Each structure stands twice: as C-alpha cells, then as structure tokens.
Amino acid sequence: MILGDKTAKIEKYAQKNKSAKLVPLLNDRKKDIRIKAIKALATIGDDTSVNNLIIMLHDPDREIRLATIEGMAQMGNGVTKTHLQDYIEKENDKELVEAARKAIFSIAKQIDPVEEMI
C-alpha cells in the first residue's frame, strides 16, 4: 500500500468514526502515517481513541508524543486531562512538559469554561 492510499484510508476511517480501523496504523513504520492516525483518533474522540492515545504518550519517538499531546488537547475530556497530569510527572523533556501543561489548560477550559465577566 502506498502512502497516498494510507492517507486516504485514514481520512475515510476518521469520517466514518472507525477508530478500531485506525489503531493498527499507530504502529506504521512511517512516522507521518502514525501522526495522521493520531490526529484522526483525536477527531473521533471515542473510548478506543482515548485508550490508544494514552498508550501513545509513552512512545519512544518525541514527535509522536507531541502529536499525541496535541490530540489529547483537542479531545478535551477529563480522562485525557488526568493522564496528561500524570505524564508531566514522568516526562523529562521540558518542551513536551510545557506542551502537556498547555493541553491540560485547554482541556480544563473545554470541560469547565470560565465565563468572562466585565
């Protein structure tokens, strides 16, 4: 299967909310396919997506972890927020820790939006 085919399949699976079909692509040998699968799962945001992105937080590749953090921020739910809080305690990369903090803040705003009062 060529790269374009995989990209098209990822888009198709995301449109049809087929998170289980995306999961195998998280282990693709091409990093860009893995990142696209992460983004697609973040768009779907179901339990399968959440559970698999939690696993991807521990990927050895820094770019994959960053894409996962960004995806979790997009999902904006309490489970991802809790796992990102735990992740901050274990991650040594300062840039990833800062990205996780921003994601946590973004999720907190989505879960419990603060209304601005003038």
Q: Is residue 67 part of a domain?
A: yes
- Give the number of domains in the chain: 1
Q: Is the pLDDT of residue 118 over 90?
A: no
Residue 92 and residue 62 in contact, taking contact as beta carbons nearer than 8 Å = no
Q: Is residue 117 part of a domain?
A: no
Q: Is residue 75 part of a domain?
A: yes
Q: Is residue 31 part of a domain?
A: yes
Q: Is residue 10 part of a domain?
A: yes
Give me the residue label for tokens 């879960």: 111
Which pLDDT tens digit goes with each residue over 17-44? 999 999 999 999 999 999 999 999 999 9
DSSP state, residue 13: H
Q: Rounded CA gap, 110 and 117, in Å?
A: 18
In this structure, is the dihedral angle defined by the CA atoms of residues 102, 105, 110 and 114, taken in order, positive or negative?
A: negative
Residue 67 and residue 86 in contact, taking contact as beta carbons nearer than 8 Å = no
Q: Domain range spanning residue 18?
A: 3-111
Q: Rounded CA gap, 65 and 9, in Å?
A: 22
- Global pTM reads 0.89
Which pLDDT tens digit goes with each residue over 61-86? 999 999 999 999 999 889 999 999 99
Q: Rounded CA gap, 93 and 72, in Å?
A: 18
Q: Rounded CA gap, 82 and 86, in Å?
A: 6
